[in-house]
Chain A
Amino acid sequence: MKNTDITAPDYFHKVVDCQWACPAHTPVPEYIRLIAAGRYSDAYMINWRSNVFPGILGRTCDRPCEPACRRVRVEDEPVAICRLKRVAADYKDDITARLPKPAARKNGKRVALVGAGPSSLTVARDLAPLGYSVTVFDGDAKAGGMIRTQIPKFRLPDSVIDEETGYIIGLGVDFRACKRIDSMKALLAEGWDAVFVGSGAPRGRDLDLPGRQEAAANIHIGIDWLSSVSFGHVTKIGKRVIVLGGGNTAMDCCRSARRLGGDEVQVVVRSGFDEMKASPWEKEDAQHEGIPIHNYLVPKAFTHDNGKLTGVTFEKVKAELDAKGRRKLVPAGEPDQHFPCDDVLVAVGQENAFPWIERDAGIDFDEWNMPKVDAVTFASTNPKVFFGGDAAFGPKNIIWAVAHGHEAAVSIDKLLNGEDIADRPMPAVQVMSQKMGIHEWSYDNAIELDKRYKVPHRDTAVALKDIKAEVELGFDPKLALAEAGRCLNCDVQTVFSAPLCIECDACVDICPMDCITFTQNGEEAELRTRLTAPANNLSQDLYVQNGLKTGRVMVKDEDVCLHCGLCAERCPTGAWDMQKFLLDMTYAGTSCRPPARSAA
């Protein structure tokens, strides 16, 4: 194998599994250390810079970081990254003085953002301090978009949304509330320098089954019903409720129904339990509230008595693998099942809808009626119009919307500076030794064996009485410290210097995970089989360095390294060092400018 190039920004970034998995690439271990140190405001600001909504995401994020956490590979459960983020938001001091100030001088460029959801607000946050005149249009009275309308208050209180959207509006952003954009052509005619569309995926999918029309009064579309609940337009529901669908919206629907008079709320899903789209913890929370989840049942018809809904009929199915090895649901051959109920909530997915974008506005749409959007620049075929969040590639989640927003902001900033938006500067990387003295590192390198801590919940009986009572109470500082101690500090990298190595094997002998091998070089596939411990996880890199006196190579399997630093502590010559990797993402502003010409 060739020598590993650790100067490539991606190499060490991939080792920090959580940060690599995060769409916004938040430096997770860095802020977890700050939480452990009680520096909640500092931890919050790191998050704020990277993911814009730490308090919101700390309660609602889909957490792509957690399944990626190295702790899953060495123990079982990941570090509770998401809920630690909430700790930073809960216990921070007043950080308003640390936010950017509204731009003192405007640069004269006007940018319109359609929708006040997470992607638009991210664009606004990135562009407003640079001097852009940013105007956000939203049909609702308050900013937040789906964050405010679709997430139940018992998961995310309004106060948190007000605070974090307020930070952005306070940057001198012109927020036009209750102003729905009905025509893209009209908007473009207003002469904006750039337009960003962050209008989400606002249409809930319906089920066109027999009885749907007749019983319509008691059949509700999930996301519409949730926003009616959110605005207080709906305050009660029938005693017996069936929720159709297995995603997170279905979980929000059933738990909301449970709080509005639904004594017998049941979720019915086509797929098996494990294949449901809802996050495991959301399914758990629903079940914890006494909501049964029925699987492998496909709805066939709504039954009604002269237009009054009486229930839903389902066909039992089972999963089979077809000839190509794909899972398919086929009839199980059992009699149909009938679930009597008073109301049905349909949460079987949501779709994009752009009735307000005229098809001759210079924006091309594809065969699925979605705008053609560049996956890197987020530009549409109209060079002035950008898309992000659910509006760009269909429903995802908040953290993806934030990541889209950052990239779209870079594109807009480059476009309006006359630069090529396809030219994306790489992120900056800092690598810094953490050695403070003999056996002394600037991070806590002792490995805690603790199992994942549970977040305390409000008593279920109390929680179910009030739809606005937040269920999760969050970690207190003591629990947060204990949970933070589980973080393996994967950003503190093992850096090897072959010229210093005397090949004494001390690192090989001490490594608790048998990650290190000194051996003859070979091709990767073959090399992986003859390391101290087999390197079977092909998604994790081998760190290879040649230049040793014996002509062998040092091979380190990054897979299950605990970053405990024992290799560096045991190294008599300092050939191993523990160096902290910090990634500086490229955002709108100076970091996305092309390198300046040198004076000479």
Chain B
Amino acid sequence: MTYLAKPKFHHPDLPKNTLGYTHRDYEGTVSTLCAGCGHDSITAAIIQACFELSIEPHRVAKISGIGCSSKTPTYFLGNSHGFNSVHGRMPSVLTGANLANRDLIYLGVSGDGDSASIGLGQFAHSLRRGVNMTYIVENNGVYGLTKGQFSATADRGSKSKRGVINTDNSIDLAAMALQLGASFVARSFSGDKQQLVPIIKAAIAHKGASFIDVISPCVAFNNHAGSTKSFDFVREHNEAVNRLDYISSRMPIEIEYDPGTVEIVEQHDGSKIALRKLAADYDLHDRTAAMGFLQHHAAKGQIVTGLLYMETESEDLHAHLHTVESPLNALDEKDLCPGQAALDKFNAALR
């Protein structure tokens, strides 16, 4: 936590994106989270991803619930739309906003308490419906705001800061997302921006429900020996299935890859993901295999990270509902009140 605002001065040689912005232009106000919080690194990764994608800030809506994680949208994209909603209700607010204006990029930011406890139902249904969004859970395994009780994602057998052993089974949100039909599922670590930033970029480019579970150590209550969400534990047990490079549709593929080691996946918007496989026989497109892989490694105490599953021909809720192409705020009176003839035709169709 810092009382000082971040000085306006920036490095004279900062790179600029195609809009002429530096990454500093994607910042929000200074974070009030604890010093060293993993969430701040995720904030920095979101800033970096949006900067690199040259996203116009006014095209983003960032929506969150309640908790340490849900405070973070204040700390990034200070010129974007934001809605800090009720505890656990980020998904329904996001779904509503998305239905009203499908042209915006939706970033749903939540935590393990917000999504795995009070908002578990909301979490499930938004993914099940395929809302076009990037749903990020900043997962630290504890209730930080209430001083470090185990959350629903804390691993069974892990130890609290005061030495209490967790006896409840944990919820694996990535595994649930796979089961619930999310069309883009990834897991990453706040301490590894090289992995996290391209995942966020690919998720934003993905059409459909993208879910990213980001392990984010709580330095105040969950970064001790015996924790399974500490910096040390995650670094030691990180089982990355792949590393990826995100290649936007505007960029040529410049990197030379050894054939066989890299899979190029094209997304609906023309962008590509170059995946460098680390686990030899891991298949990115096999949902059931991914679920098995996760559970198998979780049983061994390993944390599987990387892009876990992706559907290339995904659809979103708007496609399912056959909604109108333009945002509702762009409909004029003629579209909204098409007249007696149109009403008669519609009524006739129901007779």
Contacts and interface: CB of A to CB of B under 8 A. Distances in A.
Contact of A570 (B2, B38, B235): B2
A550 B7 contact: no
Contact of B44 (A449, A509, A515): A509
A390 interface: no
A570 B223 CA distance: 16
A509 B26 CA distance: 13
Contacts of B190: 504-505
A506 B12 contact: no
Contacts of A569: 2, 4, 35
A533 B14 contact: yes
A305 B93 CA distance: 96
Interface string A74-90: 11000000000000000
Nearest to A515: B11
A361 interface: no
Nearest to A449: B8
Contacts of B217: 504
Interface centre among A445, A510, A549 (most CB of B within 10 A): A510
A515 B43 CA distance: 18
Contacts of A445: 4
A547 interface: no
A204 to B, nearest CB: 43
A506 B191 contact: no
Given A504-B36, A570-B35, A572-B34, A514 B11 contact: yes
Contact of B235 (A536, A550, A564, A566): A550
A533 B23 CA distance: 11
B33 to A, nearest CB: 10
Contact of A447 (B3, B7, B231): B7
Contacts of B9: 74-75, 447, 449, 512-513, 560, 562
A533 B13 contact: yes
A123 to B, nearest CB: 43
Contacts of A549: 232, 235
B6 A512 contact: yes
Contacts of B24: 512
B221 to A, nearest CB: 12
A504 B43 contact: no
Interface in B235-249: 235
Contacts of B14: 514, 533
A449 B8 CA distance: 8
B35 A533 contact: no
Contact of B4 (A502, A564, A571): A564
B176 interface: no
A569 B4 CA distance: 9
Contact of A503 (B8, B37, B231): B231
A566 B35 contact: no
A73 interface: yes
Contacts of A505: 40-41, 44, 190-191, 193
Nearest to A572: B36
Contacts of B10: 512-514
Contact of A566 (B4, B8, B11, B231): B4
B60 interface: no
Given A505-B44, A506-B41, A572 B13 contact: no
A513 B2 CA distance: 17
Contacts of B1: 439
A573 interface: yes
Contacts of B3: 439
A446 interface: yes
Nearest to B41: A505
Contacts of B191: 503-505
Interface in B26-49: 30-31, 34-38, 40-41, 43-44
Given A75-B9, A534-B13, A549-B235, A506 B36 contact: yes
Contacts of B219: 502, 504, 572
Contact of B231 (A75, A502, A571): A502
A572 B224 CA distance: 13
A564 B4 CA distance: 9
Contacts of A571: 35-36
A446 B31 CA distance: 16
A447 B10 CA distance: 12
Contacts of A550: 235
B11 A533 contact: yes
Interface in A266-301: none
A505 B40 CA distance: 9
B12 A509 contact: no
Nearest to A73: B12
A508 B47 CA distance: 13
A515 B12 CA distance: 11
Contacts of A573: 36
Contacts of B8: 447, 449, 512
Contacts of A447: 7-9
Contacts of B231: 502-504
B273 to A, nearest CB: 23
A571 B36 CA distance: 6
A570 B11 CA distance: 19
Contact of B40 (A449, A509, A512, A564): A509
Interface string A439-470: 10000011101000000000000000000000
Contacts of A562: 7, 9
A566 B36 CA distance: 12
A506 B40 contact: yes
A505 B191 CA distance: 7
Contacts of A534: 13
A505 B42 CA distance: 10
Contacts of B235: 549-550
A566 B40 CA distance: 14
Interface in A497-523: 502-506, 508-510, 512-515
Nearest to A71: B9
A446 B4 contact: yes
A317 B150 CA distance: 82
A504 B13 contact: no
Nearest to A573: B36
A566 B3 CA distance: 10
A446 B7 CA distance: 8
Nearest to A535: B13
A572 B43 contact: no
Nearest to B7: A447
A492 to B, nearest CB: 14
Contacts of A570: 2, 35-36, 40
B187 to A, nearest CB: 18
B349 to A, nearest CB: 57
A11 B44 CA distance: 31
B189 to A, nearest CB: 11
Nearest to A438: B1
Nearest to B13: A534
B4 A572 contact: no
A571 B1 CA distance: 10
Contacts of B40: 505-506, 509-510, 570
B325 to A, nearest CB: 39
Contacts of B232: 502, 549
Contacts of A509: 40-41, 43-44
A569 B37 CA distance: 12
11 contacts: A446-B4, A449-B7, A449-B8, A502-B232, A504-B36, A506-B37, A512-B7, A512-B9, A549-B232, A566-B2, A566-B6
Given A506-B37, A509-B41, 14 more contacts: A74-B9, A439-B2, A449-B8, A502-B36, A502-B231, A504-B37, A505-B190, A509-B40, A512-B6, A512-B7, A560-B12, A566-B2, A570-B36, A571-B35
Q: Which 4 A-B pairs have the closest CB atoms?
A: A572-B36, A447-B7, A509-B44, A533-B11
Interface of B: 1-4, 6-14, 24, 30-31, 34-38, 40-41, 43-44, 190-191, 193, 217, 219, 223, 231-232, 235
Interface of A: 73-75, 439, 445-447, 449, 502-506, 508-510, 512-515, 533-534, 536, 549-550, 560, 562, 564, 566, 569-573
